[in-house]
Structure 1
Amino acid sequence: MIKNRLITGYRSFELNVFKDDDPKVAVVKNCLKLTLIPLIEEGTEWFLVGGQLGVETWGAEVILDLKLLYPNIKLALIMPHEGFGSNWKEEKREKLLQIKKRADYVNSTSHQPYENPSQLRNHQAFMLQHTDGAVLVYDTEYPGKTQYIYKEILRLKEQENYELVSIDFDMLQNSYQD
């Protein structure tokens, strides 16, 4: 039984989403919800996100909504470094702040401001080490930045029985049509 899962995937700009009222957001969130409910019912307790705009923040919002039906689940927001998101536009900072306020656990893997890419690699390693599986919104035909964590998850899957639940563009399209 998987107790801790990472939720990650594309950044909003990789999906050409620049506003929260874009219909694609509702499709991704609905698909995440339909994917997460059976995982919760199978025993997942903690969901970890890093706070990136896109799948991670949408996933956090879905978990926070699902807490009404499943009060036993928890959300951890673990950002890559201190001050993460501080240079974002006001409405994006506010979105992250709202998630911080409602998350069950908030921290960062580096307690220093951003200095170099090693903080991001260390953050990715931390998130994977502290989860037993991932829900990944990713399509191999459109790699983007998500390809790096995808490759690491595949490596873990082979070595450590790490569980990957993928949501690809076909699944998103089918979810939209339903």
Structure 2
Amino acid sequence: MKVLLVSGYKSFELGIYSNKHDAVNYIKNAIKNKIETHIYEGLEWIIISGQMGTELWSAEVVFELQSEFPELKLGIFTPYEDQEKNWNETNKTYYEEILIGADHVDSISRKPYESPLQLKARNEFLISKSNGCILLYDTEKEGSPKFLYELALKKQEQTSYSIELITFDDLQVIAEESFENDKEDYREL
């Protein structure tokens, strides 16, 4: 069974505080392009931990792709119970909608947040249950994905674990292509 982990920066690490921000579409397009390639290679599951930002945007991408590829499944493995406890109401509602659409939801720790060890356990679990990962991560800008990336590199040394990074340069290319396409569409009017 082919399982991919998709993760990356949290929305606040990118300075994005609304899912309507233009950058969200560029990020989702980059993720979609990567996932589609793997679907044709037998991808069955995308797994995430349900973090705000890259992971929940990835879930939206999976939902979009499921209309064309219904065999694609989404698994959400939260690091602990009530991950969303301190989120604002808008984010909680958005998160609940994502959870409802997922094919599998579970918590790695059956307790509320107690320590950073739960986050470490989450990373180890997600890497161990996947054949590879797609990370929105640029080694020039450290952030929370650094820990997953380092763990993925260790697994890659021992197995054929694939790591695909989406960098800020990749997003810039997508943004420029989108701008050019918009200009062409406008000219046709």
Q: The TM-score by the shorter chain falls in which range?
A: over 0.9
Letter in 1 for 2:27: V
TM-score (ref. length: structure 1): 0.97
Deviation of the 1:59 alpha carbon: 0.4
Q: Which residue of 2 aligns with 1:22?
A: 21
* 1:176 equivalenced with 2:153 (yes/no): no
Letter in 1 for 2:28: K
Per the alignment, in what secondary structure is the counterpart of residue 62 of structure 1?
A: helix
Distance 1:152 1:78 in 2: 17
Q: Which residue of 1 aligns with 2:66?
A: 67
Deviation of the 1:20 alpha carbon: 1.1
Task: Please provide the CA RMSD for this pair.
Answer: 0.9
* 1:163 equivalenced with 2:159 (yes/no): no
Query: 1:82-116: CA deviations, max 9, x gaps?
Result: 11112100010111101110100000100101111
Letter in 2 for 1:132: N
* 1:126 equivalenced with 2:125 (yes/no): yes
Deviation of the 1:164 alpha carbon: 0.7
- How many residues align? The count is 177
> Identity over the aligned pairs, expressed in percent?
36
Per the alignment, in what secondary structure is the counterpart of residue 46 of structure 1?
A: strand
Give ranges in structure 2 of 5+ residues lacking alignment. Answer: 178-189
Determine which structure has more spread, i.e. the larger CA radius of gyration.
2
Letter in 2 for 1:6: L
Query: 1:66-90: CA deviations, max 9, x gaps?
Result: 0001000000011000111121000
Letter in 1 for 2:148: I
Per the alignment, in what secondary structure is the counterpart of residue 31 of structure 1?
A: helix
TM-score (ref. length: structure 2): 0.92
Query: 1:105-158: CA deviations, max 9, x gaps?
Result: 000100101111111111110111100100111100001111111111111111
Distance 2:96 2:166 in 1: 27
Distance 2:159 2:40 in 1: 23
Distance 1:124 1:144 in 2: 14
Q: Which residue of 1 aligns with 2:12?
A: 13
Distance 2:162 2:110 in 1: 29
Q: Which residue of 2 aligns with 1:105?
A: 104
Q: Which residue of 2 aligns with 1:147?
A: 146
Distance 2:140 2:115 in 1: 29
| Worse overlay, 159-168 or 103-112 | 159-168
Distance 1:130 1:54 in 2: 21
Give ranges in structure 1 of 5+ residues lacking alignment. Answer: none
